[in-house]
Amino acid sequence: MTFKQTWRRMAQLVGACALAAAAAGAQAADTPKPGGTLRYGTVSEIVSLDPHVYGGSAWKVLIEALYSPLAGYDKSGAIVPRLAQSWDQPDARTIVFHLRPDVAFQDGTPVTADDVKFSLDRILDPATGATLRSNLLGATVTVVDPATVKVEKPSPDATMLSVLALPEAAIVSRKWVESGANLKLSANGTGPFQLKSYEPAVRASLVRNPRYFVAGQPYLDGVDFRMIKSDDARVNALRSQSLDMIDFVPWKDIDVLRRNAGTKIDTAGGAFMSVWFNTSKKPFDDARVRRAVSYAIDREAVSKAAFFGYGKPIYGAPTPEDSPYYDKSLDGTYKRDTAKARALLAEAGYANGVDASMVVFQGLGIYTTMAQVVQANLKEVGINLKLEPVEWATLVERKNRGDYDSMIYGVSVKLPDPDAYAYYLGGDSSYWAKPIGYRDPELEKLLAEGRALTDPKARQPIYQQAEKRILETSPWVFVSWREQAQGYLRKVHGYTQLGGALSESSPGISLPTMWIN
């Protein structure tokens, strides 16, 4: 064999070995490896662990890790069993849940139908301030036997199972709560992890729940939540590998981190930015003023300045174009028109201008950038807007007290169903409406009609009317879609970034099947 032939043969052997090693590495990467603690950096502070009172995106991830509802969503977006191993729907207003046998809370107390009834009744109790109260209003919960619960609404409700599959419908231990437990500072759930320690607004440490009802899960030994408000600090912690994963990758850093060989960035749509009004206070108690704001905002400028190509203006209602409920005729409703904005202000009695304030979360750059654009836009039409930068916990507290003129808020639709509007706008018991006593009987009637139907084609015209009503009255101004990005090290596996209504829940849904290699 000549030198050239020998060299060629050696190169072939080396290449084959390299391919085999790469294949083995790929196979190893696809095989879950138990153990390890995921260090997760989040922008928003978690100031309460009450599973029935929504506290932001990071709160939702933590609650999904600690608690379980009767049903839940999987990585495909399908509703799957959680504490209930199955359910029957004898009619459009009734669900009968059959609980898994031998499931226990983290303190070892068995989960029974009595705990389910207690939990759902707690959500329905106005004193709780539960986020899903408006969605479940009118429901009665009956214990059929220790392993069976019946939930009934007074009229047909196509959304009931979707609502009960949300993390905010978590089941808590009646015995534990009635013993005087502080649900804001402690946890006792049935989720894949249990609480080891918690420092409000700073840190939460979780360890694997050995009693979790899914065999072999979770793969991780624990999760360490670190609440880091600074965009740059969160990104630098990922780059330096002092964190394994971060939420809300700053939009200015998405492309840069994608070019980093050691990190991976996943994005998905579904969230949007909006302006929320306190409709009980002047000047925003007048729909004409709210509509003036909607006409005045330069949505294209907001999208470019805040989202670096990962945002898109919303000129109508926040229904994705691929939804069967999308109404193309509403797109373009609020194209920028400063003349219309001034005319509406004059009609409302503010021809000489008006002063107002806006609460803005200062921990995330997109909020402050958007606020500055909106402030400049409104000044052009005669609204002098004073910006009030606050921490996330303060923003949530002021929202819950109704202590604001207006605020910028980023949200996603909470359900993969058009009735998601009811979560926010469905009466004075809903998440946004309750603190300010917002009511719109016409909208509530339309939402109730749509909820009572199960045929999508029959529901479509009703939700189109509902969206027209929302745009006419403008309790919110819909400004821009935004891509949501999670960043993580290449050694983190098993994560799936979901879009649409489940974009906010992606980390919580993925945690039980994530691992570190």
Summarised one tens digit per residue, pLDDT across range 237-266 is 999 999 999 999 999 999 999 999 999 999
* 99 and 52 housed in the same domain: yes
Q: Which pLDDT score is estimated for 29?
A: 55
Q: For residue 110, which amino acid is it?
A: P
Ranges in the chain, pLDDT < 70: 1-29
Q: Which pLDDT score is estimated for 7?
A: 34
d(Cα 332, Cα 443) in Å, to the nearest integer?
21
Domain CATH number, residue 314: 3.10.105.10
d(Cα 250, Cα 232) in Å, to the nearest integer?
8
Within a domain: 218:
yes
Within a domain: 16:
no
* 53 and 200 housed in the same domain: yes
Q: Does residue 419 contact residue 450 with C-beta atoms inside 8 Å?
A: yes
What backbone phi and psi angles, to 5 degrees, belong to 261?
-65, -25
* 180 and 279 housed in the same domain: no
Q: Does residue 241 contact residue 513 with C-beta atoms inside 8 Å?
A: no
* 306 and 350 housed in the same domain: yes
Secondary-structure breakdown of the chain: helix, strand, coil percentages, each rounded to the nearest 5? 40, 25, 40
* 385 and 252 housed in the same domain: no
* 468 and 509 housed in the same domain: no
Within a domain: 252:
yes
Provide the phi-psi class of 308: left if phi over 0, else alpha when psi is between -120 and 50, else beta: left
Within a domain: 5:
no
Q: Does residue 402 contact residue 434 with C-beta atoms inside 8 Å?
A: no
Overall number of domains in the chain: 2
Domain CATH number, residue 208: 3.40.190.10
Q: Which pLDDT score is estimated for 416?
A: 79
Give the side-chain half-sphere CA count within 13 A for 51: 28
Tokens 């408006």 belong to 134
Q: Which pLDDT score is estimated for 413?
A: 77
The pair of three-digit structure tokens given for residue 161, joined into one six-digit string? 């199972």
Beta bridge partners of 226: 41, 203
| pLDDT per residue as tens digits for the range 285-334 | 999 999 999 999 999 999 999 999 899 999 999 998 888 899 999 999 99
* 110 and 203 housed in the same domain: yes
Closest CA to 69 of 93, 94, 51: 51
Backbone Cα Rg of the chain:
25
Give percent of the chain above pLDDT 70.
Answer: 94
Within a domain: 180:
yes
Please enumerate in sequence order all residues whose Cβ is within 8 A of that of 499, keeping only pairs 6 or more positions apart, or say none. Answer: 268, 269, 270
Within a domain: 24:
no
* 62 and 158 housed in the same domain: yes
Coil, helix or strand for 224? strand
Q: Does residue 192 contact residue 488 with C-beta atoms inside 8 Å?
A: no
Containing domain of residue 292, as a range?
A: 269-482
Please enumerate in sequence order all residues whose Cβ is within 8 A of that of 457, keeping only pairs 6 or more positions apart, or say none. Answer: none
* 254 and 123 housed in the same domain: yes
Residue 448, classified by CB atoms within 10 Å of its CB into exposed (0-12), middle (13-18) or buried (19+), is: middle
Q: Which pLDDT score is estimated for 56?
A: 87
Judging by DSSP bridges, how do beta strands 84-91 and 94-99 pair with one another?
antiparallel
* 318 and 254 housed in the same domain: no
* 469 and 509 housed in the same domain: no
* 328 and 473 housed in the same domain: yes
Residue 5, classified by CB atoms within 10 Å of its CB into exposed (0-12), middle (13-18) or buried (19+), is: exposed
Within a domain: 337:
yes
d(Cα 245, Cα 243) in Å, to the nearest integer?
6
Q: Which pLDDT score is estimated for 315?
A: 97
Q: Which pLDDT score is estimated for 339?
A: 98
Q: For residue 297, which amino acid is it?
A: I
Within a domain: 130:
yes
The pair of three-digit structure tokens given for residue 303, joined into one six-digit string? 């999208």
